[in-house]
Structure 1
Amino acid sequence: MRSPAAPLILGTLPAIVAGAFVRWIADVTRTVWMVQGVSVMLSVAMAWGHSLLAGVGVLGAALAFGGLTGRRLMAIDAALAPCSASGCWPAPTR
């Protein structure tokens, strides 16, 4: 003879399994969102870091170019100074 509790157990078993499955899906989804959130934060941080490094690189390149250009202009002035002192060409009139 069947137990009088059998219909109750058999009736609630699918609900328990479904609840556990839904809870498992929620945990997996939450974990995936957390991992994606961390990866998004890391991506943003890396992009910010790369743009910061690029900005520093551009600034460094500009300073290096400016220094190089300044040194070249000073070298041209130094090379032309003896010529202008000796009168290789007429002095500019004002």
Structure 2
Amino acid sequence: MGAAKGGTFPVFDFFKGNIWVSLKTTNAKGWLKQAKKWVRDIDKRRASVPGYNGSHSSVLDLRVPKGHATSAEIGKLQKYGTKRNVEVRVTEF
């Protein structure tokens, strides 16, 4: 995606076909609040990406420290993403 904006693009890191992915990592403190902000950014800014035609799938691929994300928090974030047409994937590391 970087070539689309002179080497950088602040929201999406990868794309393949119609799937656009934003890969983020976070520390344990305040991760849910920050992740919701990233979902909003994806939702708000995807239309500004060159080539966007409304048929692309947007994904937030999030890495959180092991043991710091509960199932309830992950479910809440995924529901938040669904409302904004952003698939949320959470992986612990």
Larger radius of gyration: 1
Greater strand content: 2
User: TM-score of the superposition, structure 2-length normalised?
Assistant: 0.23
With CA pairs under 8 Å and 6+ residues apart, which has the higher RCO, 1 or 2? 2
User: TM-score of the superposition, structure 1-length normalised?
Assistant: 0.22
Greater helix content: 1
